Amino acid sequence: MKQNSNKQTSPPASQPLFPNLEDSLDHIRTLMGDSSDLVIRSLMIHKTSAAVIYMDGLVDNNSVQNFILEALMLEMPSKRQSSHHLYLSIKEKALPIGETEEIESYTDLFDKLLSGETILLLEKQTKALAASTKGWRDRGVQETTSESVIRGPKEAFTETLRTNTALIRRKIKDSNLRIEAKKIGNKTHTDVAIVYLEGTAETDVIEELNRRLDQIDIDGVLESGYLEEFMQDAQYSPFPTVYNSEKPDAIAGGILEGRVAIITDGTPNVLLVPALFVNFMQSSEDYYQRADISTLIRMLRLFCFFVALFMPSLYIAFTTFHQEMIPPPLLINLAAQREGVPFPALVEALMMELTFEILREAGVRLPKPVGSAVSIVGALVLGQSAVQAGLVSPAMVIVVAITAISSFVFPSYNLAISIRMLRFPLMILAATFGLYGIILGMIALVLHLCSLTSFGKPYMSPFAPFIPKDQKDVLVRFPHWGLLSRPSSLTKKDQKRVDSTSKES
Amino acid sequence: MDNQTISPRQFMFLVILFTIGSSIIIVPGPLAAQAKQDAWLSITISLLIGLTLILFYNHMAKLMEGKTFVQATIMVFGNWFGRFILFFYLSFLFILAALVLRNIGDFMTTEIIPETPLQFTHILFLIVVIWGAYLGLEVMGRSAEMFMPWVFLLLLFFTITLAPQINVENLQPFLGEGFMPVLSTSTFVIGTPLLEMVTFLMIFPYVKDAKTKRKAWVLGVFIGGMILTLITLLCLLVLGSDLTALNTFPSYKLAQKINIAGFLEGLEIVIGIIWMLTIFFKMVVLYYAVSVGVAQFLTMDDHRPLLLPLGMGMIVLSIIAYPDVAYFETFVGDTWFPYAFTHGFILPAFVWIGLIIKSKRDKKQKDLSSHS
């Protein structure tokens, strides 16, 4: 489908190479519109004219000079040869470069040229050589900024696909690790790699993923978010059904669990499917810390999930409808605080939540030096002035603060986003129906969660459907010698993980 | 309808929640009024009778050979007479669902949100129920699995926090009123929820694994019944039989008694949450059974178009079903058992006889055809 559309948009490019070198070069120049970064170096090899073509900035200048130009201009044997023989000898002997390929059509030629390879054209030849000289400025492997850990590898993926696949290969040195390539985007031709362990990942999932990716017909893919929206199961759900991470160890861990990673060129965020609800509550660090503290932290996250989701609505419900359920001393305190506040609890809560959302969004966008100024203003406005001005009660400030902090506990940002959004309908339910509304909202939420699937896997497994065997690595984390099998909610194949005799008792 | 199936475990959880739902509100009061301190005994007796009833339903489900009650009845009695019987069966489920809805509405408007009008309470609840029935049986089963641990944990919490206030003297004298009141009130629990189990004849065919699902049904009713016994026993032990009988919602009153070190008070919401969860599942099972039943009655492919129209009818019915709680108490005490017995036992028994005759005849025909 993608190739068809390619043909439609640029029909002349798909034709075979012209035998005449000048024609060929003209053709390339016209199609590129005399682009200023196109470099065409014409040269003569024993009276056969040839041309070396590359894109300035996408290639590694050193290797083009040392291994291609030098080889062709200085080191060719001086014996006169026919053009065809010359071509063969260059192909087989002359180019000291790891990866070379033959190309026969202009589609291929532009594909290679624009992804940073160097093309060698010879007079009277309908084949050309493409030598891999890719080398552009990239960021290099750096420390992760969005998912920091205390213990565990600090490196993060980069914007370059090849670096990213290498980062995974370095962790999983198994010949069964498959890296399949795809190109998506009619204009951007973005490289996408599908990475999985053959024999561990389920073939159904891989087929389904390939089907969904092949279906995509879009002009450009600039980030993995484009792909995520095309291939996620639940389009109209606040909950994410595709996991993403920029930590190679998290992705490698997912691959070992039988999941499939999708690396997109140009972004450090790598996708992982299928993604279950529990995956968003787990961090790769859980597996590096000791089992007991990991278990406790997982419980804490679950608690924070409820706090972040329900705290403001519970506050509204209790202060508006169910004062009798608050212990009397606390009730007196709360009532005294709310005495001077002119708004109903819902308005108060909405106001504070909105202020906080604004502050948070501003904090992300602002340049670093200004950021601290905003946090001071935020803290003063939120914590002090609003209370002193009698706009909100101090208890409300506490509620909003604990809610906000709780929503930062989750290792994955996507889940925090869905909680942020769902908080507001729950607050409205609480303001209209009290606890009754909150509980019904919660039931509806669970119904919705249970109806979701991610690549055929029930989103709430291993809770619903309940899989006793998988409970070892959900709320609690068993020590590694106890994690005997892979989570069967993710893959049914190659279940064995740890030999039960491997720990001396 | 759309080939969704649930596992025996999910089915068992649904049965447990169905058994507790709404009975947990209605059962302790009237029982304590008549059987006094032996109310818990009458639940245990009725539970035994109920288990044999489930064995009967199980046998019936076996004869139905993977068909729902509606499909089986039409198969046995033909298009017209079959539908005549089914009219009663489906109306029973529909009325039961409306009454259950009213139960939660009554409870909410009396105890938790007194200022909200009844109809809005009902509408909000029913919207969520319709959402559940729309998503289908699979989702219902999974959410039952999600909520079951919560219900158990809350019950455990409830039991432990009430433990200090237990007064064993409340149960004495054992059989002080004689055995008759105990026996006569046991019909009450048979009426609700045990005879209501006939609803599951609409869902049973969609449960996987023929062998364990029978066991799951019996076990589910047993566990649900034990929880009911536990709640009633706690009511009697803490409140005493008189207070239990006087209160409209004795188990809610019971939760108000929780007091730990003077600061953990007002935890009646715990029992409120258990009620809402269990009643939700009772409603959603009933509602699903009704809509699937009506869809099969009308030979429709999908039950989803029926969900909203049925819901509108149910809202109205639930409001006009009875004028006040006093009326309801007599209704539940006197009228419900005969009504439930006719529709939950006599009617299925009638179909059962039909099924037996039909299966014998089929066998004979098979023999004849194989001989010839």
pLDDT at A10: 46
Query: H or E stretch including A255?
Result: helix A248-256
**Out of A435, A443, A450, whose CB is closest to B142?**
A450
Q: How many CB atoms lie within 10 A of CB A333?
A: 15
User: Per the omega criterion (within 30 degrees of 0), is the bond before A411 cis?
Assistant: no
The CA-based angle A63-A69-A74, given to 5 degrees, is 125
Residue in A440, A460, A466 closest to B125 by CB: A440
Give the model's pLDDT for residue B327: 87
Beta bridge partners of A195: A179, A261
Predicted pLDDT at A234: 84
Provide the token pair at B332.
Answer: 């539940």
Residue type, B134: Y
- Nearest chain B alpha carbon to A446: B143
Separation CA A199–CA A479 (nearest Å): 25
Nearest chain B residue (CA) to A441? B128
- Distance from C-alpha of A244 to C-alpha of A231, rounded to nearest angstrom: 13
Alpha carbon of A432: minimum distance to chain B alpha carbons (Å):
9
Answer whether A437 touches B (CB < 8 Å): yes
Whether A12 has a pLDDT exceeding 60, the answer reads no
Does the distance separating the beta carbons of B145 and A464 come in below 8 Å?
Answer: yes
**For residue A134, pLDDT beyond 70:** yes
Give one DSSP letter per residue of B228-287, joined into a string: HHHHHHHHHHHHHHHHHHH-SSHHHHHHHT--BTTTB--THHHHHHHHHHHHHHHHHHHH
- Name B159's Cβ contacts closer than 8 Å, sequence gap at least 6: B230, B234
Q: Is the dihedral of CA B305, B310, B313, B319 positive or negative?
A: negative
Burial (0-12, 13-18, 19+ Cβ within 10 Å), A37: exposed
Contacts of B140 in chain A (CB under 8 A): 447
Chain A neighbors of B279, CB-CB under 8 A: none
Q: Is residue B145 part of a domain?
A: yes
- State the number of CA atoms in the 13 A half-sphere of A352 facing the CB: 34
| A439 touching B (Cβ < 8 Å) | yes
Lookup: tokens for B216: 């799951």
Q: How far is B60 from chain A (nearest CA, A)?
A: 28
Q: How confident is the model at residue A4 (pLDDT cuts 50, 70, 90)?
A: very low
Interface probe for A, chosen from B111, B115, B146 (most Cβ of A below 10 Å), is B146
In angstroms, the separation between the Cα of residue B58 and the nearest Cα of chain A is 24
- In chain A, the residue whose alpha carbon lies closest to the alpha carbon of B129 is A444
Which domain covers residue B149, as residue numbers? Answer: 8-361
Peptide bond preceding B117 in cis form (omega within 30 of 0): no
CA distances from A397 to A304, A346, A386 (A): 17, 13, 9
Residue B305, token pair as written in the block: 């178009």
Specify the 3-state DSSP secondary structure of B111.
helix
CB within 8 Å of A231: residues ≥ 6 apart: A209, A212, A213, A216, A242, A273
Instruction: Cis check for the bond before B8: say yes or no (omega within 30 of 0).
Output: no
User: Are the beta carbons of A326 and B145 separated by less than 8 Å?
Assistant: no
Looking at the 3D structure of chain B, how many domains does it have?
A: 1
Give the separation between CA A119 and CA B149, rounded to whole angstroms: 65
What are the φ and ψ backbone dihedral angles of B271, each rounded to 5 degrees?
-70, -30
Q: Which residues of chain B does A437 touch, with a Cβ-Cβ cutoff of 8 Å?
A: 124
Residue B367 lies in a domain: no
pLDDT band at A5 (very low <50, low <70, confident <90, very high): very low
Residue in A466, A474, A475, A476 to test binding to B, most B beta-carbons within 10 Å: A466
As a whole number, mean pLDDT of residues A12-31 equals: 82
Residue pair B206/B213 in contact (Cβ under 8 Å)? The answer is no
Average pLDDT of span A204-230? 93
| Residue that has been written with the tokens 């989750």 in this structure | A410
Please state the rounded mean pLDDT for residues A383-400: 85
Q: What are phi and psi of A454, to 5 degrees?
A: -125, 110
Note whether B30 and B188 are within 8 A (CB).
Answer: yes
Residue B170 maps to which CATH number?
Answer: 1.20.1740.10
Burial class (CB in 10 A: 0-12, 13-18, 19+), B287: buried
Identify the weakest region by mean pLDDT among A180-194, A290-304, B231-245. Answer: B231-245
pLDDT above 90 covers what percent of chain A?
Answer: 38
Question: Is B366 contained in some domain?
Answer: no
Asked if residue B315 belongs to a domain, the reply is: yes
Contact indicator for A133, A118 with CB cutoff of 8 Å: yes
Q: Which amino acid is at B148?
A: M
pLDDT beneath 50: ranges in chain B: none
Q: Do B269 and A325 touch (CB under 8 A)?
A: yes
Q: Is A450 on the interface with B (CB under 8 A)?
A: yes
Nearest to A435 among B141, B143, B269 (CB): B269
Would you state the pLDDT for residue B167? Answer: 87
Are B142 and A325 inside 8 Å of each other by CB? no
Question: Is position B166 within any domain?
Answer: yes
Question: Chain A residue closest to B136 (CA)?
Answer: A451
Q: List CB contacts (< 8 A) between B270 and chain A.
A: none
Alpha helices (H) along B109-209: 118-135, 137-162, 180-189
pLDDT of res. B65: 83
What is the b/e burial string over A118-139, where b = at least 16 CB atoms within 10 angstroms of the residue's CB?
bbbbbbebeebbbbbbbeeeee
Nearest-5° angle of CA B280, CA B90, CA B54? 70
pTM: 0.90
Mark yes or no for CB contact B276/A324 under 8 Å. no
Q: How far apart (Å, rounded) are the C-alpha atoms in residues B121 and A440?
A: 11
HEC profile of A193-245: EEEEECCCCCHHHHHHHHHHHHHCCCCCCCCHHHHHHHHCCCCCCCCCCCEEE
Whether residues B276 and A446 touch (CB distance < 8 A) is answered with no
B114 within a domain of the structure (yes/no): yes
Residue listed under structure tokens 């590359």: A54
A465 interface with B at CB cutoff 8 Å: yes
3-state SS class at A98? coil
Measured between CB atoms, does A299 come within 8 Å of chain B?
A: no
Residue with more model confidence, A423 or B40: A423
Residue B272 lies in a domain: yes
Query: What pLDDT is recorded for position A448?
Result: 95
Domain membership flag for residue B370: no
- Name beta bridge partners: A271: A244, A262
Question: Is the separation of the CB atoms in A322 and B112 below 8 Å?
Answer: yes
Q: Tell me whether residues A439 and B273 touch, CB distance under 8 A.
A: yes
Question: Distance, in angstroms, between A323 CA and closest chain B CA?
Answer: 10
